Amino acid sequence: MLDCIIVGSGLAGISAALTLQSNRKEFLLFGSPSLSEKIEKAEKIHNYPGLSDVSGKEFCAALKAQLDEAKIEIKNEKVAGVYALKEKFSILTQEGNTYESRTIILACGVESIRLIDGETEFLGRGVSYCATCDGFLYKGKTIAVVCTTKRLEHEIGYLADFAEKVYLIPMYKDVEIDRDNVTIIKKMPQKIQGKLRVESLAFAAPPSEDIPKDLSVNGVFMLRESVAPSVLVGGLETKDGHVVVQRDMSTNLPGCFAAGDCTGRPYQYTKAAGEGNIAAHSVSEYLK
Q: Does 272 bind ligand FAD (CB under 6 A)?
A: yes
Please give the radius of gyration of the chain, using alpha carbons only, rounded to the nearest integer.
Answer: 20
| Pairing label, strands 219-223, 127-128 | parallel
Give the whole-angstrom CA distance, residue 26 versus residue 283.
11
| Residue of the chain from 4, 5, 6, 7 that contacts ligand FAD (CB under 6 A) | 7
Q: Does 255 bind ligand FAD (CB under 6 A)?
A: no
CB of 93 to ligand FAD, least distance (A): 7
Give the whole-angstrom CA distance, residue 216 versus residue 21.
50
Q: Does 179 bind ligand FAD (CB under 6 A)?
A: no
Instruction: Enter the DSSP assignment of 54.
Output: B
Q: Does 207 bind ligand FAD (CB under 6 A)?
A: no
CB of 196 to ligand FAD, least distance (A): 28
| Position 19, amino acid | T
Burial class (CB in 10 A: 0-12, 13-18, 19+), 202: middle
Q: Does 183 bind ligand FAD (CB under 6 A)?
A: no
Q: Does 102 bind ligand FAD (CB under 6 A)?
A: no
Q: Does 107 bind ligand FAD (CB under 6 A)?
A: yes
| Residue of the chain from 10, 81, 170, 255 that contacts ligand FAD (CB under 6 A) | 10
Q: Does 277 bind ligand FAD (CB under 6 A)?
A: no
Binding site for ligand FAD (CB under 6 A): 7-13, 30-32, 35-36, 38-39, 41-42, 45, 47, 78-79, 107-109, 225-227, 232, 260-261, 267-270, 272
